[in-house]
Amino acid sequence: MIFFVENGTDFDPAVECGIDDVSTFCGRLGEAVLAGEGITGTDGLEASLYLVSGEEIRELNRTHRDRDEETDVLSFPNIDTGEGESLEAVLSAPDADITDPESGRVLFGEIVINTERVRRQAEEYGHSVRREFAFLVTHSLLHLAGYDHMTPEEAAVMEQKQEAVLTSLGIGRDG
């Protein structure tokens, strides 16, 4: 999975998280999320990651979700599996609406992360900034894959999948 990253903040993933190549790091998270769905060969997928301030994400939340509040992450999926079609089926036969005409890759979606909250939540939860950053990307990738946490049952599934992905990549609560 290829990630395009735009960082409009003073957050430096190399310094704060030990992540020298954010695109590659996020790509590995994406591959792990999709492997959990039985999907391999993710070279034909792309996603965008935007690192923004608290005020910027608040404005996006107000504009796109009609919620006038700061949040930690927003997910904008580009794939709809709402009609009972599996994610694997959609990815294996993508239509033109979800394919970049220039690259031919499937546009998986966009992730927006509030870097101020990454730092704050890492401290609140007592783990590293790297862990919090990886958690938020993984959480958002699961949203892009069609998961939600509106009910306790959905939340439990997402929590299990998040932890499985992070554990598979050696990103524990201590780092």
Q: pLDDT at position 104, please?
A: 85
Amino acid at 108: F
Q: Which long-range contacts (CB under 8 A, 24 or more apart) does 28-32 make?
A: 28/169, 29/134, 29/137, 29/138, 29/141, 29/165, 29/169, 30/1, 30/3, 30/108, 30/141, 31/1, 32/138, 32/165, 32/168, 32/169
Which residues lie closer than 8 Å to 147 by C-beta, 6 or more apart?
A: 154, 157, 158, 161
| Cβ contact 171:31 at 8 Å | no
Specify the DSSP element, H or E, that contains 144: helix 129-144
Q: How far apart are CA 40 and CA 61, in angstroms?
A: 32
Q: Encode 98-134: b = buried (16+ Cβ within 10 Å), e = exposed.
A: beeeeeebbbbbbbbbbbbbbeebbeeeebbbbbbbb
Q: pLDDT at position 115, please?
A: 98
Q: Which domains does the chain have, with CATH numbers?
A: 2-168 (3.40.390.30)
Q: How far is CA 41 from CA 2, 44, 104, 167, in A?
A: 12, 7, 14, 21
Q: pLDDT at position 94, please?
A: 66
Which residues lie closer than 8 Å to 159 by C-beta, 6 or more apart?
A: 149
Q: pLDDT at position 152, please?
A: 95
Q: pLDDT at position 83, please?
A: 65
pLDDT tens digit at each of 175 positions of the chain: 999 999 999 999 999 999 999 999 999 999 999 999 888 888 889 999 999 999 999 999 999 999 999 999 999 999 877 666 778 777 777 676 788 888 888 899 999 999 999 999 999 999 999 999 999 999 999 999 989 999 999 999 999 999 999 999 999 876 5
